[in-house]
Amino acid sequence: MIEFDMEIMNKLYGQDCLILPHRRYDLVTGEFRSKEHDKYLGSSSEIWDAREVLEEVSYLHFSDWPYPKPWSEYSDVTHAKLQPPCQENFQSEEDCSTRDVWNEIYLDFMQRRQTRKALLRL
């Protein structure tokens, strides 16, 4: 049986700890693919701004099921299929800002990983 990291944490500490408000402290990458952000924002009246949310968060957790973890191999087809869709904004225009931020997160991870691998080869 495969257990995920948060399931293990909940089993170990679920009865002994308080739940901190996650906003500004922790963000899962799956939030970018979500259609509704009220639970994360804590309000249905606040407007989701992916870039602003990413800038304010302290810890980003790669948890984006069914999208694979960034250190796993995946195809461009999988990436294109599972990336966040563009949304229609209030002016009825296509807004891809959330998808752009999500793609930047994964690209940043890949670039940092390649840099570290190159340094290890020296």
pLDDT at 120: 81
Query: How many other CB atoms sit within 10 Å of the CB of residue 45?
Result: 6
Q: Is the dihedral of CA 84, 90, 91, 97 positive or negative?
A: negative
Please indicate whether residue 10 or residue 34 has the higher confidence score (pLDDT). Answer: 34
8 forms beta bridges with none
| pLDDT of residue 4 exceeding 80 | no
pLDDT at 84 exceeding the cut of 80: yes
**What's the whole-model pTM score?**
0.80
Residue 99 near residue 85 (C-beta atoms within 8 A): yes
pLDDT category, 119, cuts 50, 70, 90?
confident
For 15, 50, 77, 111, the CA distances from 34, given in Å and listed in that order, are 28, 11, 20, 25
DSSP bridge pairs for 59: 26
Q: Report whether 88 contacts 96 (CB < 8 A).
A: no
Name the most confidently modeled range: 7-11, 71-75, 77-81: 77-81
- Based on the number of CB atoms within 10 Å of its own CB, is 67 exposed (0-12), middle (13-18) or buried (19 or more)? buried
Instruction: Output the pLDDT for position 15.
Output: 85
Query: Could you tell me whether strands 26-28 and 59-61 are parallel, antiparallel, or unpaired per DSSP bridges?
Result: parallel
Residue 14's pLDDT is 82
Q: How far apart are CA 47 and CA 66, in angstroms?
A: 26
Q: Which residue has the higher pLDDT, 95 or 5?
A: 95
The yes-or-no verdict on residue 1 having pLDDT over 70 is: no
